[in-house]
Amino acid sequence: MRLGMFMMPVHPPDRTMWSAIEEDTEKSLLADQLGFDEVWLGEHFSASTEPYPSPFMFFANLVARTKHISFGTAVINLPNHHPAIVAAEAAQFDHMSKGRFMMGVGPGGLVSDFELFKNPDHNARNRMVIEAVDMIERIWSQDPPYDLKGEFWDISIKDGIVPNLGIGFMPKPYQQPRPPISISLASPSSSSAKTAAEKGWGMISANIIPAYSVASHWKVYSDACRAKGIAPRGDNWRVARNLMVAPSDAEARERVFSAQASNQYFYTYMREVLNRVGLLVILKPKPDMPDAEATVEAITEECVLYGSPSTLLDKLVAFRDKVGPFGTLLQTGLDWGGKNREWEHESMRLLAHEVMPKLKQHVQAQAAE
């Protein structure tokens, strides 16, 4: 059982980019100091609330300042990129980090990015992800000439090759045969879970979805594994959750539901975003509940795990028993406005030092049965 940090991130829209970068850098360094295993960062081109068009640039600033934490893109939205650029930049960062790189990929989730890159078709974006990863893996596995043809991209280096000068050779990653690849999942019974099983990729279940939806990802993945004759394992399954640990249950609840709590802003923002595009069902605690009942409070109560260290441990054990044997827990990093900086500092420390050691013991004992 590993512990990581996932930052979409979601900041207030009027925050300056530099201040968000400073804050999320501090958060990443704190995670490394506390013994977190991983930090993941989202990619968006057209939202001041989620202001990172290049996770690689953000992570490059952290490589020399951290000791052991690994860096994951959550995710590279592949329809927005040429596969050759992703292959080259990912290989470079893998070398810069000496293999502390995990490549998370996905079709994207921001409607303004779809418009920006002219990728409105959901099914086409999913096909683009599969084609792009296939091309990236082929680039990493061979020397020139390159002659890759697909539905969306053609990649070719055949004439401009000078072997003794290294010209025409695309970079290969530090990790061989490749860095680990994971795909993001948000919809109930997402078909991407089947893709992960078929391709040997990991899964990242989103922090914004209810428990039944997380459990559906494991079912789809498990069924696809068994169809291939493979025993399903949760080692490479990551589940992101909003977590709040405080000295007492009452304090934890206050830090989740008070008017100044970042969780309130986070789920208010997510509810409006998804409702505007007709995808409120992704957030609903029950898929058939009326929209009016899917309030910010109801969604927050379903999607946030909170409490004292002992209470949160019990909730995490029950949650994992309910959804499936995920191998990594990703705590969502929230905005640090007001008291939230102090609250999240304490929550991260309690999670890393008091909750996770006992959760790991539980998981190990359960595996040994």
* Span 160-199, pLDDT tens digits: 999 999 999 999 999 999 999 999 999 999 999 999 999 9
Token readout for 306 is 């909170």
pTM over cut 0.85: yes
- Asked if omega into 145 is within 30° of 0 (cis), the reply is yes
Residues 215 and 165 placed together within one structural domain of the fold = no
Q: How far apart are CA 48 and CA 12, in angstroms?
A: 8
Q: Are residues 174 and 240 in the same domain?
A: no
Residue 312 lies in a domain: yes
Same domain, 292 and 148: no
Q: Does residue 280 lie within any of the structural domains?
A: yes
Q: What is the pLDDT of residues 260-291, one digit of tens each?
A: 999 999 999 999 999 999 999 999 999 999 99
Asked if 93 and 60 count as a contact pair (C-beta separation under 8 A), the reply is yes
Indicate the average pLDDT of the chain: 97
Cβ-in-10-Å burial (0-12, 13-18, 19+) of 74 comes to: buried
Q: Are residues 165 and 216 in the same domain?
A: no
Residue 248 lies in a domain: yes
Of 179, 195, 230, which residue sits at a domain end?
179
> How many C-beta neighbours within 10 Å does residue 197 have?
21
Claim to verify: residue 164 and residue 278 sit in the same structural domain: no
Does 187 fall in a domain? no
The answer to whether residue 44 sits within a structural domain is yes
Question: What pLDDT does residue 369 have?
Answer: 83
Asked if residue 36 and residue 167 are part of one domain, the reply reads yes
Same domain, 227 and 362: yes
Q: Are residues 248 and 150 in the same domain?
A: no
The answer on 227 and 166 residing in a single domain is no
**Same-domain check for residues 113 and 258:** no
Same structural domain, 349 and 305: yes
pLDDT tens-place string over residues 134-150:
999 999 999 999 999 99
Provide the domain limits for residue 309. 206-369
Residue 124 belongs to a domain with what CATH number? Answer: 3.20.20.30
| Displacement of CA 180 from its chain's centroid (Å) | 13
pLDDT value at 75 more than 90: yes
Number of domains comprising the chain: 2
Q: Are residues 174 and 233 in the same domain?
A: no
